[in-house]
Chains A and B, each alone.
Chain A
Amino acid sequence: MTADLEGPAHLTPLTDAHRELGARLIEFGGWLMPVQYGSIIEEHRTVRERVGLFDLSHMGELYVEGPDAGEALAAALVSDPASLVIGRAHYSMICDPNGGIIDDLIVYRLGQATFLVVANAGNAAIVSDALAERIEGFKAILDDRSLATGLLAVQGPRAAEVLAPLTDVDLTGLRYYAAKEGTVAGIHALVARTGYTGEDGFEVFVDTSQTVALWDALLRGVRTVGGLPVGLGARDTLRLEAGMPLYGNELDLDTTPYDAGLGRVVKLTKAGDFVGRVALEKVAQDGPARRLVGLIVEGRGIARHGYPVWSGDRRSGVVTSGTQSPTLGVPIAMAFVAPGDGEPGTVLDIEIRDIRVPARVVTLPFYRRDA
Chain B
Amino acid sequence: MVPTDLRYTNDHEWVRVDGEEATIGVTAYAADQLGDIVFVELPEPGRALEQFAAFGVVESVKAVSDLFAPVSGEVIEANGELGRSPEHVNNDPYGAGWMVRVRLADASQLDGLLDPDAYDALIAAG
Contacts and interface: CB of A to CB of B under 8 A. Distances in A.
Interface of A: 1-2, 35-36, 39-41, 233, 236-237, 300-302, 304, 323-324, 326, 331, 353
A324 B61 contact: yes
A36 B63 CA distance: 13
A324 B38 contact: yes
A353 B62 CA distance: 17
B36 interface: yes
B37 to A, nearest CB: 10
A371 to B, nearest CB: 28
Contacts of B33: 1-2
Given A326-B61, A353-B57, A302 B35 contact: no
Contact of A39 (B30, B35, B63): B35
B21 interface: no
Given A233-B61, A324-B39, 12 more contacts: A1-B12, A1-B33, A2-B33, A40-B60, A236-B62, A301-B39, A302-B39, A302-B59, A304-B64, A323-B62, A326-B61, A331-B39
A353 B39 CA distance: 14
A13 to B, nearest CB: 25
B36 to A, nearest CB: 5
- With a 10 A CB-CB cut-off, give which of B30, B35, B59, B64 has the most chain A CB atoms: B35
Nearest to B33: A1
A298 to B, nearest CB: 14
13 contacts: A1-B65, A39-B35, A39-B36, A40-B60, A233-B61, A233-B62, A237-B61, A301-B39, A301-B41, A302-B59, A323-B62, A324-B59, A353-B41
Chain B contact residues: helix, strand, loop or mixed: mixed
A331 to B, nearest CB: 8
A41 B39 CA distance: 13
A326 B33 CA distance: 19
Interface of B: 12, 30, 33-36, 38-39, 41, 57, 59-65, 83
A358 B84 CA distance: 19
Question: Closest 7 A-B residue pairs measured CB to CB?
Answer: A324-B38, A1-B33, A41-B36, A40-B61, A302-B39, A302-B59, A39-B36
Nearest to B36: A41
A331 B61 CA distance: 10
Given A323-B61, A324-B61, A353-B57, A36 B35 contact: yes
A236 B83 CA distance: 24
A271 to B, nearest CB: 45
Contacts of A36: 35
A86 B36 CA distance: 44
A323 B65 CA distance: 14
Contacts of B83: 300
A302 B62 contact: no
Contact of B36 (A35, A40, A331, A353): A40
Nearest to B87: A41
A58 B48 CA distance: 48
Contacts of A236: 62
Given A39-B36, A302-B38, A302-B39, A1 B59 contact: no
Contact of A233 (B35, B41, B64): B35
Nearest to B11: A1
Most chain-B Cβ atoms within 10 A of its Cβ — which of A1, A323, A353?
A1
A323 B64 CA distance: 10
Nearest to B90: A39
B62 A40 contact: yes
Contacts of B36: 39-41
Contacts of B30: 1
Contacts of A40: 35-36, 60-62
A331 B38 CA distance: 9
Contacts of B64: 302, 304
A330 to B, nearest CB: 10
Contacts of A302: 38-39, 59, 64
